[in-house]
Amino acid sequence: MGMPFELNTMIVTKGREKRVEENLFQLEKEGYRLYPIDIPIDVRKTIESDTSGTAVIKKVEWQNSSTSITYQLISLNSTN
């Protein structure tokens, strides 16, 4: 009767994010994941990679064993 969750403290895109408009992106992840919403968190391409920027999650949706987040990129790390 328990419900499995994963606590996530950063956004790991794996390059699968979709641009909704300008700085707004949508990302779908497997399983039910708890993200902090409305506060700045790190965005990374993979778990091992460096921070690629900072974002604020504006919307979280749980349905059919997957989690969809909509986030606004508020700063970008240009490291080249």
- Please say whether the beta carbons of 79 and 49 come within 8 A: no
Smallest distance from the beta carbon of 5 to a copy of itself, in angstroms? 5
User: 50 to 69, contacts with a copy of itself by CB under 8 A?
Assistant: 58-63, 65
Kindly tell me which of 2 and 80 has the beta carbon lying closer to a copy of itself.
2
Binding to a copy of itself in span 22-51, by CB under 8 A? 32-34, 36-39, 41, 47
Contact status: 4 vs a copy of itself (CB under 8 A): yes
**Sign for the pseudo-dihedral over CA of 3, 30, 12, 47:** positive
Q: For residue 37, with 0-12 CB atoms within 10 Å meaning exposed, 13-18 middle and 19 or more buried, which class applies?
A: middle
Q: Give the count of beta carbons closer than 10 Å to the beta carbon of residue 73.
A: 18
Residues of the shown chain interacting with a copy of itself in the complex, contacts defined by CB under 8 A = 1-10, 12, 32-34, 36-39, 41, 47, 58-63, 65
